[in-house]
Amino acid sequence: MTALRERMITDLRIRNYSPRTIECYIGCVAAFARHFSTSPAALGPEQIRTYQAFLLETKHASWAVFNQTVCALRFLYGTTLGQPGLIEQIPFPRQPKQLPVVLSREELARFFAAIPNEKHRTVLMTMYAAGLRLSEALALQVADVDSARQCVRVAQGKGQKDRYTLLPPTLLGQLRTYWRAVRPTAWLFPGQQPGTPLTATVIQRRCAPAAREAKLTKRVTTHTMRHCFATHLLEAGTDLRTIQQLLGHGSLQTTAVYLHVATPGQGRTDTDLLARTLASR
């Protein structure tokens, strides 16, 4: 490990960045250094601009990857290398505004039915019924499912914040069926290696084949489950502030995007979304 890499990791840890963010930032900086075969300490604004153009025009990187790189380089130069003046020369791009993809309840039911593996199907059902990110679902411990209080504890979600979200009866029933089949002890969704959770890639790779099997024309990803959770709650009459808290959004403006895709007046105001979805099959 180079001295610069070690120092950046230390700076990130001191500021309580999550392990996942640290890994991402270090990876972005390492890719930047490999591109020029030079330490970032010897590079400056011209190389940064050239690399940004390379990401967009040659590598065709997604906006998420591009923004992660910008964040990583701004931290590297502004904090670790102590060059705050350089930050202004590493701008964030203007991203195209795209509305989230949302499935109808009938489409979701077909999607779930197209996933034969009980564990994988339960992960995606949990993401939908509780509004979880994939990383949050895979980080769940058995003890996080509080059946007495009918809630799920999300420990150190995005932004390293704890929160509680919904545990509707239908999801609890699905989790009990799954538990009897798998018998997890610590991690709710254990991986193949003892003592480790299921990896994100395993679930991500299930979405496209299941969507094809269900004959869906929409592009379905793991995050689609969360979009459906928010939109269906909004359509059922749940207020935006409550949805914001359940999703763990820092800003109400982030949650407000679902106002543009929801169709009001879709029926009952109960929060057992999974029950209504499965009933639509």
Q: Are 123 and 137 in contact (CB under 8 A)?
A: yes
Does the active-site annotation cover 226?
yes
Q: Which amino acid is at 247?
A: L
Q: How far is CA 63 from CA 59, 72, 207, in A?
A: 12, 14, 21
Cα distance between residue 117 and residue 48, in whole Å: 45
Q: Are 146 and 195 in contact (CB under 8 A)?
A: no
Of 110, 121, 163, 249, the catalytic one is 249
Rounded to 5°, the CA angle 184-123-269 comes to 120
Cα distance between residue 217 and residue 215, in whole Å: 6
Paired residues of 36 in beta bridges: none
Of 105, 226, 227, 232, the catalytic one is 226
Of 110, 119, 121, 133, the catalytic one is 133
Paired residues of 141 in beta bridges: 187
Does the active-site annotation cover 133?
yes
- 144, two tokens: 């996080």
Cα distance between residue 167 and residue 81, in whole Å: 46
Does the active-site annotation cover 249?
yes
- 222, two tokens: 């793991």
Strand arrangement of the beta sheet that strand 163-166 belongs to: 145-146, 151-154, 163-166
Write b or e for each residue in 241-253: b if 16 or more Cβ atoms lie within 10 A of its Cβ, otherwise e.
Answer: eebbebbbbeeee
First to last CA, the chain: 54
Of 7, 35, 153, 223, the catalytic one is 223
The gap from C-alpha 119 to its chain's centroid, in whole angstroms, comes to: 19
Of 5, 35, 158, 164, the catalytic one is 158
Alpha-helical segments (H) within 76-117: 105-113
By annotation, the residues acting in catalysis are 133, 158, 223, 226, 249, 258
